[in-house]
Structure 1
Amino acid sequence: MKPTETDSTAVDWRGDSASSPDVTRRERLKETYEARVRTPALVAWADWRTRFGLLIIGGYVLMALVAVLGLWREPSTSQAPRLLGPFTDMSYPLGTTQSGVDLMALVIHSTPTILILITAGAVWATLIAVIIGTVAGYKGGSVDRGLMSFSDLVMAIPGLPLVIILAVTLNPENPVVLGVIINISYWAGLGRSLRSQVLTIRENNYVEASRTMGISTPRIILKDIIPNLMPYITVNFVFAARYVMFASVGLYFLGVLPYSTQNWGVTLNFAYSNGALFSWQAAHWLLAPMIAIMGLSLGLILLGQGLDRVFNPRVRTRMAGESKSTVADDDDDTVTEVF
């Protein structure tokens, strides 16, 4: 039995209705990609600081991979002339220590621990500060007073003695735990600063509109408040990471933190103890870990400054307009070629 015209129309109608959600979903995915991936990437990449920061951080990540995959000799297996100068023998590009240890191997094999340590400490401090600062600023009242009193109590505790006591008591060797211990109280000041900014943001019309419509507090904080705080959060995340790096190197240098293998701080300690500070022949022993520390710090600063543009609404709006105009020009060229 052949389908009638009515049946075919119904079939066509059903087919169109079935394909319509697919088109809508595809357009929605394209809009999401443009708004959350392509436009932020264009804004970030347009700044030379982002490019250089990514290049430097990428170099340290590459060194960490080399260490993890065992593509460079272990420091303990180095059998080289003592106090060999940098670039004297390309088998040991950065030279050697007084005991013949390859400095390049020391720098490379210290990188994974440092990267894990600073990431864990920065994530811990920033996450706790964002949670406490935004909740206290938005809720106000007794919640605000309670959270800020707790923050003030933490700020009143001397940070360095607390870290030393916890390190000596717990004796942790896991870099994640060490990062959290070093930044155990760093979040308090950042949380209070975020709270003061939330007090202003919560008075905006769009926040009041969301509150009037009965939207839940977590959703308002995530959708309306935190996006406006992202430039400040990004910069302070970088500051927290740099603080962990400098503090850990200093504490390793002082011999407070436990270690099973040498790292940048321990290398500085051994160099200083063997008189590298007063001997030009051994100066590279001090300079190698110092340059590694300064390079990572510079990469973090440049990356943080570049990513700050991503969360600047004026820059993003301008870049989005340029992106749309470019797409429109491409479409016009295509139409001209067709005709």
Structure 2
Amino acid sequence: MKHTESDSTTSNEFEFGTTSSDVEVTTSERLRDIYEEFVYKPGLVAWDDRRTRIGSIILFAYVLIGTVGVWLYEAPATNQDPRSLQPFEQFFVAPLGTTGSGEDVLAMAIHATPAMLIMVLAGGVFATGFAVLIGTVAGYKGGATDRLLTTFSDIAMSIPGLPLIMVVAIILSPENPAVIGVIITINYWAGLARSIRSQVLAIREHSYVEASRTMGTGTTRIIVKDIIPNIMPYVLVNFANAARYVIFAAVGLYYLGVLPTSVSNWGIQLNNAYKQAGALSGGGTFYQLLVPMAFIMFIALAFILLAQGMDRVFNPRVRTRMAGESKSESDDDTDTAAPTEVMN
């Protein structure tokens, strides 16, 4: 009897130890898979793509300009420097010249950068985040919920974007860059939400989603764990496109005077250069128009390159090929080392 109890205890301890070991192995493998899928493979492809590298460098330069540059470069002020200096005429005073009122042109562009970056981030996050929320819930739930959210998206899409933005901006007169970014993308999300919904309709029929549903997993967990990771490539690409839209829309609205001119912006610089300095009339002031144009073009180029690069990064075929090459290299190293071990 004692022998039987001892065997039973030993057997239980062995079974418990095996289960614990299996859990540890499963967890480590899962973490390794997550690292390879979401960090290693995308990073490998991104580093191989020149467009992603160039876009990231340009965008990082703008972040430095909006943080360190603003701190190092004094804010522009009227009659601060000699008036109507040409570019490089007095390099250490105003490298890219001054306006007719003595404001440093480069300083104006630099100090407009932080507000623009905040607008881009706020607008991009709002547009893509709201689109993901509406699109995933509508596509996964279906039925009355789908019809209600789809109708809401259709109504938002049917309203002309620019007139709506102008009306809301005139009523609110916002000065907070984050609020301006949200207003600019007030109905930009609708088209993206419809596209995400169509993708979710296909994803919800996959076997792993059906398995989660069969096991009684909650809707929120299924959407967060099973559906959203599969649409993230599309979402990130559209985030870059939304950011580019915010840039052009904000500059245009500031240029037209719809948004308050008390906030520094490249659009206000363009307006002043065109109307006050006569930059297009041949008076030698074209540089006042060229500097903000260059800032606008390069940040737009950064997001275009990032969108193109991310489309390649999240292409499953490219990622599989890149990962396969790295694995084949490691396999070759193992095969090379194997004969030596046998000889020993």
Shorter-chain TM-score bucket reads 0.7 to 0.9
Deviation at 1:29, TM superposition (A): 4.4
Q: 1:99 to 1:167 in 2, by over 3 A?
A: same
Point out the more displaced range, 159-168 or 53-62: 159-168
Identify the residue that residue 194 of structure 2 maps to in structure 1. 192
- The 5 A counterparts of 1:233-312 are 233-274=235-276, 275-279=278-282, 281-312=284-315
CA positional deviation for 1:193:
1.8
Q: How many Å apart are 1:334 and its aligned residue?
A: 7.1
- Deviation of the 1:128 alpha carbon: 0.6
1:60 is paired with a residue whose SS is helix
User: Where does the alignment leave 5 or more consecutive residues of structure 2 unmatched?
Assistant: 1-9
Aligned twin of 1:90: 91
TM-score by length of 2: 0.85
Contact 1:66 1:108 in 2 (8 A): no
Which secondary structure state, in structure 1, belongs to the residue aligned with residue 170 of structure 2? helix
The amino acid that maps onto 2:174 is P
**Structure 1 gap ranges (5+):** 1-9
Match of 1:75 in 2: 76
User: How big is the alpha-carbon RMSD for the aligned residues of Structure 1 and Structure 2?
Assistant: 2.8
1:87-166 correspondence runs (5 A): 87-91=88-92, 92-166=94-168
Query: What are the Cα deviations for residues 60-108 of structure 1, in whole angstroms up to 9, with x where unaligned?
Result: 011011244x201211177333332223332222222122211111111
How far did 1:314 drift? 1.5
For residues 188-214 of structure 1, give each alpha carbon's deviation from its aligned partner in whole angstroms, at most 9, with x where no partner exists. 121112212222333333333333333
**Alpha carbons 2:78, 2:102 under 8 Å: kept:** no
The share of aligned pairs that are identical, in percent, is: 59
Q: Is the 8 A contact 1:125 1:240 kept in 2?
A: yes
Residue 323 of structure 2 aligns to which amino acid in structure 1? A
Superposition deviation, residue 215 in structure 1: 2.8
Displacement after TM superposition at 1:280 (Å)? 5.0
How far apart are the structure 2 equivalents of 1:22 and 1:224? 21
Give the letter aligned to residue 291 of structure 2.
A
Whether the aligned pair in 1 keeps the contact of 2:175 and 2:263 (CA below 8 Å) is: no
TM-score (norm 1): 0.86
> Structure 1: how far apart are the matches of 2:109 and 2:337?
53
Matched-pair contact (CA < 8 Å) for 2:77–2:102: no
Which of 312, 317, 327 is residue 314 of structure 1 equivalent to? 317
Q: Residue 209 of structure 2 aligns with which residue?
A: 207
In 2, Cα distance between the equivalents of 1:22 and 1:149? 46
Q: Is the 8 A contact 1:83 1:281 kept in 2?
A: no
Q: What amino acid sits opposite 1:278 in the alignment?
A: S
Aligned residues: 325
Q: Shift in Å at residue 153 of structure 1? A: 1.8
